[in-house]
């Protein structure tokens, strides 16, 4: 199963970001806490290499708390600031303003020495599609500033958002990169909804998820669906279809319906707090 999705507007967005990076003091990058490395666009490191960096581990409510802590330490060792949050519920939001001020302390001090006072910190918000940038901005601002949607590709252009006297945010479209060198990255992005479902084979995707859960989260499938986990993924999917009454005409298992159910329950957190990749794999 090959994964690739790079609409034309993403090329334009990347060029625009190259221009806008000159105007900002801080790059705020949202990543999906379930796939902290795979949900990072490698282009961002190149674009923002001269800027202060803040990583927001969004959707931490859906991820393993233990693994989120390990990833937080991983990013901090790179010299970046890190905050874990659930942008939908404001969890973690209170600390962000203070962290932004700390991340830009050197810039603020330089301004003060030059006699520049009260110039707001300008931060660019970046991240791949469907990682929660617009939801974060709206929750942080306390009002609907950015268009949101539970699918990739909602934000198409840039917009400046003045939060208060001290911080201004530049929202940017979510951009992937032209080619996934590692198809495992594509798999993780597909599982978490950063690639449009319409171009994916959901049946195959669910089998990959079942395989991952069997290997790393023993007992989760058995507890949720009442299945025997010793079976291979196709047989497990068939048993899930049977146990969840996903049946077609002729009393045949509806594999596609069962596959969509498993994917949806993973994405919504009903399967539990699950992280798909781990820091030791990166090293």
pLDDT tens profile 243-260: 999 999 888 999 999 999
Residues in the chain with pLDDT < 70?
1-14, 146-158, 174-181, 281-283
* pLDDT at residue number 264: 97
Task: Read off the pTM.
Answer: 0.85
Q: Measured on CA atoms in the order 89, 94, 95, 97, is the torsion positive or negative?
A: positive
* pLDDT at residue number 175: 65
DSSP state of 278: -
Domains within the chain, CATH numbers bracketed: 8-171 (3.40.50.300), 201-282 (1.10.1580.10)
* Residues 242-279: b if buried by 16+ CB within 10 A, e if exposed: bebebeeeeeebbbbbbbbbbbebbbeeebebbbbbbb
Q: Over 179-248, what HEC string results?
A: CCCCHHHHHHHHHCCCCCHHHCCHHHHHHHHHHHHHHHCCCHHHHHHCCCCCCCHHHHHHHHHHHCCCEE
Q: For residue range 257-272, list pLDDT tens digits in order.
A: 999 999 999 999 999 9
* pLDDT at residue number 277: 94
* pLDDT at residue number 248: 92
* pLDDT at residue number 226: 97
């Amino acid at each position: 199963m090959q994964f690739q999705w790079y609409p034309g507007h993403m090329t334009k967005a990347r060029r625009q970001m190259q221009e806008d990076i000159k105007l900002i003091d801080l790059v705020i990058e949202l990543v999906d806490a379930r796939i902290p490395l795979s949900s990072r666009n490698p282009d961002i490191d190149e674009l923002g290499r001269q800027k202060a960096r803040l990583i927001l581990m969004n959707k931490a409510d859906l991820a393993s708390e233990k693994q989120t802590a390990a990833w937080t330490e991983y990013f901090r060792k790179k010299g970046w600031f890190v905050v874990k949050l659930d942008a939908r519920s404001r969890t973690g939001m209170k600390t962000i303003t203070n962290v932004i001020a700390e991340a830009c302390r050197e810039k603020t001090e330089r301004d003060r020495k030059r006699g520049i006072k009260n110039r707001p910190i300008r931060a660019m918000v970046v991240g791949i599609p469907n990682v929660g940038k617009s939801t974060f901005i709206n929750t942080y601002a306390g009002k609907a500033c950015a268009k949101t949607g539970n699918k990739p590709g909602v934000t198409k252009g840039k917009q400046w958002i003045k939060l208060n006297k001290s911080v201004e945010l530049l929202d940017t479209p979510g951009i992937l990169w032209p080619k996934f060198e590692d198809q495992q990255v594509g798999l993780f992005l597909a599982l978490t909804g950063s690639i449009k479902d319409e171009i994916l084979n959901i049946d195959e995707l669910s089998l990959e998820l079942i395989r991952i859960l069997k290997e790393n989260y023993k007992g989760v499938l058995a507890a949720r669906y009442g299945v025997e986990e010793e079976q291979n993924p196709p047989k497990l999917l068939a048993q899930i279809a049977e146990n969840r009454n996903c049946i077609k005409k002729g009393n045949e298992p509806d594999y596609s319906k069962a596959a969509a159910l498993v994917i949806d329950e993973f994405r919504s957190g009903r399967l539990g707090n699950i992280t798909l990749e781990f820091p030791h794999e990166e090293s």
